């Protein structure tokens, strides 16, 4: 069996118990929260009779003992059925499918922006080490990393939507405008600018700092000295030799961040009224919509596992010394 295939098979085999473990853990964890969906619905309704609440519990299957509920849940998951959201009166799979694209769009745009700008900033800082561009970039990166996301979002809204009126303050497209084709794409792009920027700022800081450190490390290696000794320009050394090698840890980071792809967007989706998965999950917590929340958590853990497998493979391909641990 070729080496890469062997790694893939082994990794996938390892993933199965991990995912089952995660499903069980999530299930038990969620049931530790006091109150259930029937409490929430009856509370929202401003009151109810005991019979009505009992009826709700029976309908949601909450009247069954916990092991029975867990068993049913695992059996469903095994057949790729994520269950039914009683609150939304839709299947969990359908709910996730309608909300996932918005989140992916936002996150991919943000990660792409952050990665590109992060690399540029990191390289610039490393090339002008301890001179003013380096200090400026480091200070800005620190600020961006430390500023709360929701605050940045609100300030951007105040500046670009309220004061300047250049961009919409929220939503994914203009409601009721019934746009089609190119107009619609432009409309969505306009709505994406602020949330993407807000989310990217945080990752941008991370990438910039990582890139700078990585560049500096590579600068210290012998082959860089050799390159310089050959008489190459500083520019060529930086972009041809150092940059390429320094990108490796960035790839790792990119892979790992697929995990925060879903989780990290909760705040941005809330501030910008973005109809994504993060908000759906966040609201599901307060609504005790366990089926829905479990579905989203399971999907996230799947994504993380897959991302890790992919990173392993990419690494094995890039560096033949890496073997299956």
Partner 1 sequence: MIRTLRALAAVALLGLAAVTATAQEPVKGGTLAVVLNPEPPILVSAFNSAAPIGVVSTKVLEGLLTYDFDIHPKPSLAETWKVSPDGKSITFNLRKGVKWHDGREFTSADVQFSAMKVWKEMHPRGRSTFAKLLAVETPSPLVAIFKLAEPSPYLMSALTSYESQILPKHLYDGTDIAQNPYNNKPVGTGPFVFKEWQKGNFVTLERNPAYWDAGKPYLDKLVIRFIPDAAARAAAFETGEVQLGGFSPVPLNDVKRLEATGKFDIETRGYEYLSPMFLMEFNLRNRYLQDKRVRAAIAHAVDRDLIVKTVWFGFGKPAVSPVPSSLTQFHTTDVARYPLDLKKADALLDEAGFKRAGDGKRFKLFLDYLPYGSDYQRTAEYLKQALSKIGIDVEVRSQDTAAFLKRVYTDNDFDLTTNFFYALPDPTIGVQRIYWSKNIKKGVPFSNASGFTNTEMDQLIEVAQVEHDVKKRRAALVRWQQLAAEELPVLDLFETKFFTLASKRVQNHTVSAEGVYSSFAQVWVKK
Q: How far apart are the first and last CA of the chain?
A: 17
Binding piece for partner 1, criterion CB under 8 A, among 84-92, 111-119, 196-204, 301-309: 84-92
As measured in angstroms, the least distance from the Cβ of 35 to partner 1 is 3
The answer to the question of residue 50 lying near partner 1 (CB under 8 A) is: yes
As measured in angstroms, the least distance from the Cβ of 146 to partner 1 is 20
CA dist 310 and 318 (Å) reads: 12
| Positions 239 through 278 that interact with partner 1 (CB under 8 A) | 270-273, 275-276
* Helix (H) or strand (E) segment spanning residue 122: helix 92-127
CA dist 167 and 165 (Å) reads: 6
128 to 131, 200, 246, 304: CA distances (angstroms): 5, 24, 16, 36
As measured in angstroms, the least distance from the Cβ of 295 to partner 1 is 15
190: its two tokens:
């306009």
174, 155 contact by CB (below 8 A): no
The answer to the question of residue 47 lying near partner 1 (CB under 8 A) is: yes
Site string for partner 1, 89-128 (x = CB under 8 A): x-----x--xx-----------------------------
**Which of helix, strand or coil describes residue 84?**
strand
The answer to the question of residue 205 lying near partner 1 (CB under 8 A) is: no
CA dist 131 and 112 (Å) reads: 28
As measured in angstroms, the least distance from the Cβ of 61 to partner 1 is 14
The answer to the question of residue 152 lying near partner 1 (CB under 8 A) is: no
CA dist 59 and 250 (Å) reads: 49
* Residues making contact with partner 1 (CB under 8 A): 33-36, 39-50, 52-53, 59, 87-89, 95, 98-99, 150, 153-154, 157-158, 161-162, 165, 168-172, 175-176, 270-273, 275-276, 279-280, 283, 285-288
């Amino acid at each position: 069996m070729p080496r890469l295939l062997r790694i893939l098979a082994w990794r996938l085999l390892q993933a199965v118990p991990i995912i089952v473990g995660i499903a069980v853990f999530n299930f038990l964890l969620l049931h530790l929260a006091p109150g259930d969906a029937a409490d929430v619905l009856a509370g929202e309704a401003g009151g109810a009779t005991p019979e009505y609440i009992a009826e709700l519990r029976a309908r949601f299957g909450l009247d069954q003992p916990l092991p029975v509920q867990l068993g049913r849940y695992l059996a469903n998951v095994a057949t790729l059925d994520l269950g039914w959201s009683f609150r939304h009166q839709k299947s969990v799979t359908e709910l996730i499918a309608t909300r996932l694209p918005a989140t992916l769009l936002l996150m991919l745009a943000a990660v792409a922006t952050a990665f590109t700008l992060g690399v540029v900033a990191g390289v610039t800082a490393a090339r002008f080490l301890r001179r003013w561009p380096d200090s400026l970039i480091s200070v800005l990166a620190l600020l961006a990393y430390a500023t709360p996301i929701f605050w940045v979002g609100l300030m951007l809204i105040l500046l670009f939507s309220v004061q300047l009126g250049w961009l919409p303050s929220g939503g994914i497209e203009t409601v009721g405008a019934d746009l089609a084709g190119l107009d619609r794409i432009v409309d969505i792009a306009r709505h994406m600018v602020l949330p993407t920027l807000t989310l990217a700022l945080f990752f941008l800081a991370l990438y910039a700092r990582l890139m700078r450190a990585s560049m500096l490390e590579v600068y210290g290696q012998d082959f860089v000295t050799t390159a310089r000794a050959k008489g190459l320009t500083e520019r060529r050394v930086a972009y041809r030799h150092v940059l390429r090698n320094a990108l490796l840890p960035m790839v790792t980071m990119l892979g790992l961040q697929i995990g925060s792809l879903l989780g990290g967007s909760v705040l941005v989706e809330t501030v910008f009224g973005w109809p994504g998965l993060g908000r759906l999950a966040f609201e599901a917590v307060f609504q005790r919509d366990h089926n829905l929340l479990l579905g989203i958590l399971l999907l996230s853990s799947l994504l993380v596992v897959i991302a890790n497998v992919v990173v392993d493979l990419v690494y094995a391909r890039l560096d033949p010394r890496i073997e299956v641990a």
